[in-house]
Amino acid sequence: MRTLFLVLLLANVAFYAYTQFFHWSSQLNDAEIREINADKITRLTTPIVTATPDKSIQPAEASACLRWTGLSSVAIETIKPQLATLQLNVQQEQNNIEKTSHWVYIPPRLNLVDAQRKATELNRLGIREHFVINDGSAWQNAISLGVFSTQEAAKQHLKQLQRKGVRSAVEGEKKDTISSITLHINQVTPKQQEDLQRLANNSKGSQLQTIDCLNASAK
């Protein structure tokens, strides 16, 4: 009985030693594996997603509002084709201005032929600055010999003509209605503004200005 007890005790000690050795060996292998594969560990990170700009979508061009003043009806007819080509948003405003000046002239002749005959006589007298009025107005067939801002200047010119042999010329007040046209142009791109400025530079007496679009919208 005693022998059996000793055998069982030794068996338990051996089993306990075996299990402890196996557990220690397993931990050692795991540590070695981790050490050996340390350089193969890849750290996963979440990339920052950035939106790629769509090159097909072009940013809107900055637009301006312009006012083009001092245009005559003749100038408007001249620039109309260019304005149509630029495809602009244009509004036209016309102001009629009464202007009084003084001029030297030969009163209206009987007809255009008679007026042209008189103009030929002026040429023979050495007087080149004149023209026959042929616009269907009340001054049709008159001959203008000069327009002046003051009456004194007109009278001085009349005396010079009389000394040259002109007898039918007179001096008088001349009232004209001058049409001044303004263009209001909205939503103008930088390229269109450059083209408009070139047109304005070739239109004598006119002025192209950049204005506040809030004021332009009130027109």
Which of 72-86, 157-171, 205-219 comes out lowest in average pLDDT?
205-219
Query: What's the pLDDT tens digit per position in 181-204?
Result: 999 999 999 999 999 999 999 888
Query: What's the pLDDT tens digit per position in 9-53?
Result: 555 555 555 555 444 445 544 544 454 444 444 444 333 333 454
Per domain, the residue ranges of the chain are 98-179
205 Cβ neighbours under 8 A, 6+ residues apart: 70, 72
Please give the pLDDT value at position 35.
46
CATH architecture of the domain with residue range 98-179: 2-Layer Sandwich (3.30)
Is the pLDDT at 167 greater than 90? The verdict is yes
Q: How many CB atoms lie within 10 A of CB 87?
A: 8
Is the pLDDT at 69 greater than 60? The verdict is yes
